[in-house]
């Protein structure tokens, strides 16, 4: 048996794809509607055919058959941070595009990722709809909520719902989600405070936040953020959840004090807090889009540990 193959929907920059690739899968086809995400994906997955288009406008006949179908489908309609409109939101209805593709290509495994609130949304009715839809397609389902800090050894508070569905019941029985692991990394395992970065990342004296930041961030430990109420009083030992709105509101990027001043994390530090490897690169996109992509992607080590278990279930 050669490398098991993957078709990826709502791929973004390819965080899920990267985890599958690291385990030994081949990503043969990917799709996203965001042109900037497609640029980043193409720059880092040169051997993958990525189609930048609305999935609802792509005929299932154009999508190749694969062993695994993966999708980190849009989460805003289910998120506690959004309006929680669920399937009433057009973005929520995109789940049924996953079902349409799954029905056409019949993958052995479906891997889905979404926000933690997915299983609680609308008193559980949203998740029941997803579960029943997969069951009607012939899939047996397992799911879990996992955190980057407890399941990926990454110092970020990031809880996500993962759904794994198998066509084969024996494969499902062989699969289990990985257990929690000890967090051994700290913020300073990832962020080097002795390196001088570009001035664009530093808060200047004339910034409206500088005086308050300077009074709150009194040492070079931990990490801070600005939220809806202003500069948070709390110092975080691990990074708060990285969000896509970092690209829209530049002050929502987590903040630290380093040897040269008070600054926002760089896009590459945000990538590191998602567990991406050093060779993953941004190129040809605005910095705002790089931040947005960091917040929209997954924590790669968390996904990789799940994928390790999927790979064993398939191989055995």
Each residue's pLDDT tens digit, 5-35: 999 999 999 999 999 999 999 999 999 999 9
Each residue's pLDDT tens digit, 250-272: 899 999 999 999 999 999 999 99
The CB density around residue 188, as the number of other CB atoms within 10 Å, is 14
pLDDT at 75: 57
Q: What is the DSSP string of 37-63?
A: HHHHHHHH-TTSEEEES-GGGS-GGGS
Best CATH choice for the domain 5-182+299-315 from the list 2.10.210.10, 1.10.10.10, 3.50.50.60, 3.40.50.150 = 3.40.50.150
CATH code assigned to 187-293: 3.90.120
Domain assignments of the chain as residue spans, ordered by start: 5-182+299-315, 187-293
CB 155 within 8 A of CB 189: yes
Question: Which listed residue (38, 52, 75, 149) is catalytic?
Answer: 75
Asked if 5-182+299-315 and 187-293 have one fold, the answer is no
Question: Is 299 assigned a catalytic role?
Answer: no
Each residue's pLDDT tens digit, 158-172: 999 999 999 999 999
Distance CA 65, CA 61 (A): 9
154 pLDDT exceeds 90? yes
276 pLDDT exceeds 60? yes
- Residue with the larger pLDDT of the pair 230 and 104: 104
């Amino acid at each position: 048996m050669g490398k098991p193959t993957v078709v990826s929907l709502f791929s973004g920059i390819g965080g899920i794809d990267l985890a599958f690739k690291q385990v030994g899968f081949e990503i043969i086809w990917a799709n996203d509607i965001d042109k900037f995400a497609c640029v980043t994906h193409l720059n880092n997955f040169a051997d993958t055919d990525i189609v930048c288009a609305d999935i609802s406008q792509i005929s299932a006949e154009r999508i190749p058959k694969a062993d695994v179908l993966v999708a980190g489908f849009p989460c805003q309609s289910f998120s506690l941070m959004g309006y929680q409109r669920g399937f009433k939101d057009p973005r929520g209805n995109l789940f049924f595009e996953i079902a349409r593709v799954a029905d056409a290509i019949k993958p052995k495994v479906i891997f889905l990722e979404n926000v933690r609130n997915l299983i609680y949304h609308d008193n559980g009715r949203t998740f029941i709809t997803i579960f029943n839809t997969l069951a009607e397609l012939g899939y047996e389902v397992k799911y879990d909520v996992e955190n980057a800090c407890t399941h990926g050894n990454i110092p970020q508070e990031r809880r996500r719902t993962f759904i794994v569905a198998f066509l084969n019941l024996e494969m499902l029985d062989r699969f289990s989600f990985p257990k929690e692991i000890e967090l051994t990394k700290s913020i300073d395992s990832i962020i080097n405070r002795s390196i001088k970065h570009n001035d664009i990342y530093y808060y200047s004296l004339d910034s409206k936040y500088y005086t308050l930041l300077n009074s709150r961030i009194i040492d070079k430990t931990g990490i801070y953020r600005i939220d809806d109420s202003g500069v948070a009083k709390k110092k975080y030992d691990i990074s708060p959840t990285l969000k896509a709105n970092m690209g829209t509101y530049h002050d929502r990027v987590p903040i630290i004090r380093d040897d040269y001043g008070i600054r926002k994390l760089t896009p590459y530090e945000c990538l590191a807090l998602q567990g991406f490897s050093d060779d993953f690169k941004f190129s040809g996109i605005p910095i705002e889009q790089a931040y947005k992509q960091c917040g929209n992607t997954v924590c790669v080590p968390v996904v990789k540990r799940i994928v390790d278990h999927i790979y064993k279930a398939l191989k055995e």
